[in-house]
Copies of this chain bind each other. A is one copy, B any other.
């Protein structure tokens, strides 16, 4: 996320997207800051507006309430032009993905950890977070397609199941168990999933009634 622009008089060359996009960036950055510093209980439209330096009626008109703010934070994250890196191997690609997840959950402050916590308070946030995750898993299917093209694994492969197997231990340790981060876990979990894939663990398409 970009930082909010410094206060000051209107500049002749506004940021791309103009005033509306700038206000959105300021407001969503303020949500990040309030969430990670004070948590969901203290989050209100008024504190966000004050921190963003935006008039409260502007925030109410566009985002309505805290649920609307959280949903838009997650929508903005989903809009980021993110692509999994091509390292030349399934194991390497999954390891890079896992390092990104471990970093996002252990950075201080962690907006990812804060949003997971919020998802246990708000059904709306839970739905938005799930949509973001499902988007990321879809975007990550290229990792599996590349592995098939390289001949590392044979189709058909249930890409989502493979990606969940690779990444779930990170979320389990860091978000649920809150184990102190083990710097080797991203590589280990990636290696396990790659070995299992090569052993045929994810053979077959996803189940037809899987909710994507």
Contact = CB atoms under 8 A, between A and B. Distances in A.
Interface string A190-202: 0111011011111
Interface in A130-150: 130, 133-134
A207 B195 contact: no
Nearest to A176: B171
A82 interface: no
A177 B130 contact: yes
Contact of A195 (B172, B189, B199): B199
Contacts of A130: 177-179
Contact of A168 (B121, B172, B209): B172
Nearest to A204: B188
A162 B164 CA distance: 15
A20 interface: no
A92 interface: no
Given A117-B120, A120-B117, A171-B176, A201 B207 contact: no
A157 to B, nearest CB: 12
A184 interface: yes
Given A130-B177, A165-B169, A168-B171, A192 B182 contact: no
Interface of A: 116-117, 119-121, 126, 130, 133-134, 161, 164-165, 167-169, 171-173, 175-180, 182, 184, 188-189, 191-193, 195-196, 198-202, 207, 209-211
15 contacts: A119-B176, A126-B178, A130-B178, A133-B176, A165-B165, A165-B189, A168-B172, A171-B172, A172-B172, A179-B211, A182-B210, A191-B201, A192-B201, A195-B199, A195-B200
